[in-house]
Structure 1
Amino acid sequence: MHTQAAKLALIEAGAWVAQQGWVPATGGNFSIKTDSGFVVTASGFDKGKLTPEQFLELNSEGAIVAGSGKPSAETALHLKLYALCDHAQCILHTHSVAATVLSRYIKGEQLQICGYEMQKSLSGIQSHEETLSIAIFDNDQDIERLAQYVAQRHQTTPIRHGVLIRGHGLYAVGQSVQETRRHIEGLEFLFACELERIKLEGRQ
């Protein structure tokens, strides 16, 4: 994808994500793989009102080659996910209530979901009877170290649709902006359903 087209696609995606309430304040960060490297959001901007000037252009090694502003510390995790997931062309990182709360409530290393028709919104999932597993990682301010943890787990549990960072949010991946948006929407619906189910079970 050309750099300018990538920026416009992320601006549109940011407006949509913000409308859902999934990137409060200046939270979240977005990226796309381009013909020459990557385009990523600069830190500290409202993701619902992005402009072309609020992006950084990176080369294939991850070095900044154009743009002003400060790169998010989490850029390193984006680059690691691209390196691990051959299919990944776009990564959208969001901070929804459901994803954040579930990632703290579930004490294990996986959020497992089964029985919902909406699972079929995720690439490769053919039935509600399949078990969808989303890896959960403890939050770490050392992003390079967190990226290494993700890489180690990927060797045994390959990342397909995204990962959860405990108390932080979702990193959704896809083969295009459109697929990543679909993955976010499907996952957020499933997260909300699971959160409601847990609440109801707690009242019994």
Structure 2
Amino acid sequence: MTLPLPQPAIEAIIGAGRRMDRRNWVPATAGNFSVRLPEGRVAVTRSGVHKGYLTPEAVMVVDLDGRPEDAALRPSAETLLHCGIYRRFAEAGAVLHGHSIANTVLSRRAGESLELAGYELLKAFPGLATHDASVALPVFDNDQDIARLQAAVEGRWAAMNVVPPGYLIRGHGVYVWARDMEAALARLEALEFMLECELLQGRIG
């Protein structure tokens, strides 16, 4: 028997969509969100829906390999990236993917990583108790083959000593995760603030 989709997960995903839409971080049908459920299940947004106007019908369930419980429904194209985060990080309870102007432009200019240093909001990331710190966000080349992109992400994680607070896909967007949706939104907002600062600083020289 298929388990019902918990209402709190639906509400968290719908709320995230509205909050990110107000900031213009999910234009058109861009972006995708998910929440980890018990027993290896994941609630995730369906493909092709505007994230600012989500309804309960726009949320579906997949397993940790991205397979839909209801074969008639199609999850977001990048669901495998969400599943990869949940498989890798046991503490991850929610994942957000957005397409802001700042993260899109800066990721196009970056090399293999983008460094953020000296910002007060670095303290929003785990293990950082002061602004006197730096974080290197991995940047991956965009790839329409999501399984291959996830393999590249996992390869970089395996070589890193410190878990990053998220990562960028070049010219595409950002992924962040945290213990629950509120924490993930806080992490995303801190990150996007710093990225906007970097973009503005680049404009004024």
- TM-score tier, shorter chain, comes to over 0.9
Structure 1 residue corresponding to 2:176, chosen from 172, 177, 191 = 172
Structure 1 residue corresponding to 2:15, chosen from 7, 12, 17 = 12
Counterpart residue number, 1:186:
190
Displacement of 1:127: 1.2
Displacement of 1:67: 7.8
Over 3 Å counting, the alpha-carbon distance change for 1:167 and 1:181 in structure 2 is: same
Q: What are the residue-to-residue correspondences of 1:115-194 with 2, within 5 Å?
A: 115-157=118-160, 158-194=162-198
- Relative to the length of structure 1, the TM-score reads 0.93
Deviations 1:158-180 (A, max 9, x none): 54321100000001111110110
Q: Does 1:29 align with 2:37?
A: no
Which blocks of at least 5 consecutive residues in structure 2 are unaligned?
none
Kindly indicate whether the alpha-carbon contact (under 8 Å) linking 1:122 and 1:182 is maintained by their aligned counterparts in 2: no
Displacement of 1:126: 1.2
Counterpart residue number, 2:104:
100
CA root-mean-square deviation = 1.5
- Partner-residue secondary structure (3-state), 1:5: helix
Q: Give the residue type in structure 2 aligned to 1:105.
A: R
- Relative to the length of structure 2, the TM-score reads 0.92
Deviations 1:106-165 (A, max 9, x none): 1x2111111111111222211111111111000000000000000000012254321100
Q: Distance in 2 between matches of 1:29 and 1:67?
A: 19
Structure 2 residue corresponding to 1:197, chosen from 189, 198, 201 = 201
Structure 1 residue corresponding to 2:61, chosen from 57, 62, 84 = 57
% identity of equivalent residues = 40
Q: Does 1:73 align with 2:77?
A: yes
Counterpart residue number, 1:109:
112
Of 132-141 and 53-62, deviating more is 53-62
Deviations 1:42-93 (A, max 9, x none): 0111101111111111234432114853222201111111112222110010
Which blocks of at least 5 consecutive residues in structure 1 are unaligned?
none
Displacement of 1:8: 0.9
